[in-house]
Homo-oligomer: A and B are copies of this chain.
Amino acid sequence: MSKQKIESAIAKLRELSSTPVKGDCLLTWERSTEELQAVLLVAEVLGELWRNGTSARVFDGGLAVSIFRDQSTRTRFSYASAASLLGLDVQELDEKKSQIAHGETVRETATMISFLTEAIGIRDDMFLGEGHKYMAEVASALDESFAEGVLPQRPAVINLQCDLDHPTQTLSDLLHLKRSFGSLDALRGKKLAMTWAYSPSYGKPLSVPQGVIGLMTRFGMDVVLAHPPGYDLVPETLETAGTFARESGGSFTHGHDMAEAFRDADIVYPKSWAPLNVMEQRTQLLKDGDATKLDALEQQCLAQNAKHKNWECNRKLMSLTRAGKALYMHCLPADITDVSCESGEVAADVFDRARLTTYRQAGHKPFIIAAMIMLSRFDSPSTVLTRLVENDARRYAE
A22-30, A214-222, A386-394 - the one binding chain B:
A386-394
Establish whether residues B71 and A61, one from each chain, have CB atoms under 8 Å apart when the complex forms. no
Report which of B115, B336, B363 forms a contact with A103, defined as CB distance below 8 A: B336
Quickly give the copy total for this chain. 3
Q: Per a CB cutoff under 8 Å, which of B335, B388, B397 touches A384?
A: B397
Binds B, one of A2-10, A37-45, A83-91: A83-91
Contacts of A396 in B (CB 8 A): 58-60, 62, 118, 377-378
Q: Does A93 have its Cβ within 8 Å of any Cβ on chain B?
A: yes
Min CB gap A67→B, angstroms: 11
**Number of chain A residues close to chain B: CB under 8 A:** 82
Q: Contact between B81 and A63 (Cβ–Cβ < 8 Å)?
A: yes
Interface pair B393/A397, CB less than 8 Å apart: no
Which of the candidate stretches A253-261, A320-328, A354-362 sits at the interface with the other chain? Answer: A354-362
Which of B74, B387, B397 contacts A58 (CB under 8 A)?
B397
A102 to B, closest residue via Cβ: B333
Expressed in whole angstroms, the Cα–Cα distance for A332 and B150 within the complex equals 15
In the complex, which residue of chain B has the Cβ closest to the Cβ of A381?
B397
Give residues 325-341 of A contacting B (CB, 8 Å). 332-333, 335-336, 339-341
A113 at the interface (CB under 8 A from B): yes
Q: Are B366 and A332 neighbours in the complex by a CB distance under 8 Å?
A: no
Offer 20 A-B interface pairs, CB within 8 angstroms, sorted by A: A50-B116, A59-B397, A61-B86, A62-B395, A62-B396, A68-B97, A71-B97, A71-B99, A73-B100, A76-B91, A77-B113, A81-B91, A84-B89, A84-B116, A102-B201, A103-B336, A103-B344, A104-B333, A115-B365, A150-B360
